[in-house]
């Protein structure tokens, strides 16, 4: 089991100063947290009320820092914590540019990079980037496949519906053998499980119910086996605090969530096949003074269930 922390809204503890958040991740690294994630959006519009997964929990003026340079800054002040996103909207970036950014981040961090990718839902972002919203899932899969080629071949060539290149030398390669692990944040259905097994290394579901996740993860592992892949290598990252609606209700009622109450759910999540538990500190503690102790509690939680 790995413990991850998500950095969304942490800058609010420092009047918007993200440089102070970087210092918090250094503390998390020293305490023994395994993974840090950043959430991605390039922009919002008034259409956020079209969010497909219930009530959207961020306001229009919520800052979203671009993940790759932010993770590079974090890499410079940390030694062991792995660096990821939850979730980066892949099709909004060029496959070539994103592959180069991630390979560079992997080199700077000494092989600590993984990436969580999604197809996106906010059409206005696609329109502003000049990227087709329709066909974005196929675009995302091609992006993952193209990046894997760029991470191992020089010269590299790729020919798809959305992405084409021939004879490219794009160095450096990632430090990690086999390239950078890719986790997909996709809805739980047969087609998406096929996509994850074909192009990815793991899954970041929105679902948090262990009883439902168990069957979903079993189906995903079956798809791995069909492709000759080791299902025990599948990574699944979940926020463990119950359904998102329940968590929001508890936050509104009590201000913060209860770690011990959530801990009772962890054995069932692990039995279901979850490998990474992600916690967003802002829903657990009130500010930076409580952050080091909360990191210690998370590490103790990991030791309890390992």
> What pTM does this model have?
0.93
Contact 213, 238 (CB under 8 A): yes
pLDDT tens digits for range 70-121:
999 999 999 999 999 999 999 999 999 999 999 999 999 999 999 999 999 8
* Mean of per-residue pLDDT scores for the chain: 93
pLDDT tens digits for range 126-180:
999 999 999 999 999 999 999 999 999 999 999 999 999 999 999 999 999 989 9
Q: How far apart are CA 177 and CA 152, in angstroms?
A: 9
> Using the 8-state DSSP alphabet, how is residue 257 labeled?
-
In this structure, the number of other CB atoms found within 10 A of the CB of residue 96 comes to 18
> If we measure between CA atoms, which residue out of 250, 239, 183, 182 comes closest to residue 207?
239
Can you name the residues that pair with 83 across neighbouring β-strands? Answer: 36, 113
The DSSP-derived string for 268-306 is: HHHHHT--EEEE-GGGT-SSGGGHHHHHHHHHHHHHHH-
Q: How far apart are CA 119 and CA 139, in angstroms?
A: 8
Can you name the residues that pair with 183 across neighbouring β-strands? Answer: 116, 202
What's the confidence (pLDDT) of residue 53? 61
Q: How far apart are CA 186 and CA 304, in angstroms?
A: 30
Q: What percent of the chain has pLDDT over 70?
A: 92
Q: Is 4 helix (H, G, I), strand (E, B) or coil?
A: strand
What's the confidence (pLDDT) of residue 242? 65
What's the confidence (pLDDT) of residue 165? 98
Domain count, the chain: 1
> Using the 8-state DSSP alphabet, how is residue 173 labeled?
P
In this structure, what CATH number is given to the domain that contains residue 93?
3.20.20.30
**Sign (positive or negative) of CA dihedral 143, 147, 153, 155:** positive
pLDDT tens digits for range 26-67:
999 999 999 999 999 898 887 766 666 666 667 777 888 999
Place of tokens 């192009």: 199
What's the confidence (pLDDT) of residue 251? 56
For residue 285, give both structure tokens: 């503690």
Q: What range does the domain containing 195 cover?
A: 2-305
What's the confidence (pLDDT) of residue 115? 98
Q: How far apart are CA 187 and CA 300, in angstroms?
A: 32
What's the confidence (pLDDT) of residue 256? 80
Q: How far apart are CA 114 and CA 297, in angstroms?
A: 25
What's the confidence (pLDDT) of residue 247? 56
Place of tokens 């390669």: 173
In this structure, the number of other CB atoms found within 10 A of the CB of residue 8 comes to 20
- DSSP strand E in 18-129: where? 35-38, 82-85, 88-89, 115-118
Q: How far apart are CA 240 and CA 210, in angstroms?
A: 9
């Amino acid at each position: 089991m790995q413990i991850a922390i998500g950095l969304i809204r942490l800058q609010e503890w420092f009047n918007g100063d993200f440089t102070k958040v970087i210092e918090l991740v250094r503390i998390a690294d020293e305490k023994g947290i395994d993974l840090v994630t950043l959430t991605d959006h390039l922009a919002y519009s008034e259409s956020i009320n079209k969010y497909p997964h219930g009530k959207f929990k961020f306001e229009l003026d919520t800052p979203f820092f671009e993940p790759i340079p932010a993770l590079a800054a974090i890499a410079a002040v940390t030694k062991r914590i792995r660096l990821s996103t939850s979730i980066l909207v892949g099709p909004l970036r060029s496959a070539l540019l994103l592959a180069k950014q991630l390979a560079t981040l992997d080199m700077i961090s000494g092989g600590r990079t993984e990436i969580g990718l999604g197809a996106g839902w906010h059409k206005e972002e696609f329109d502003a980037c000049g990227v087709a919203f329709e066909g974005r899932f196929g675009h995302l899969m091609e992006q993952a496949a193209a990046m894997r080629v760029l991470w191992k071949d020089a010269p590299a060539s790729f020919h798809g519906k959305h992405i084409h290149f021939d004879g490219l030398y794009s160095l450096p390669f990632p430090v990690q053998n086999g390239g950078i692990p890719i986790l997909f944040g996709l809805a739980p259905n047969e087609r998406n499980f096929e996509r994850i097994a074909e192009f990815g290394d793991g899954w970041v579901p929105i679902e948090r119910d262990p009883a439902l996740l168990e069957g979903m993860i079993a189906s995903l592992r079956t798809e791995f086996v069909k492709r000759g892949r080791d299902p025990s290598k599948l990574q699944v990252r979940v926020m463990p605090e119950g359904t998102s609606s329940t968590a929001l209700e508890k936050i509104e009622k009590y201000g913060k969530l209860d770690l011990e109450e959530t801990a009772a759910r962890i054995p069932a999540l692990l039995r279901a096949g979850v490998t990474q538990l992600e916690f967003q500190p802002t829903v657990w503690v009130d500010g930076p003074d409580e952050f080091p102790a909360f990191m210690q509690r998370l590490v103790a939680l990991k030791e309890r269930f390992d």
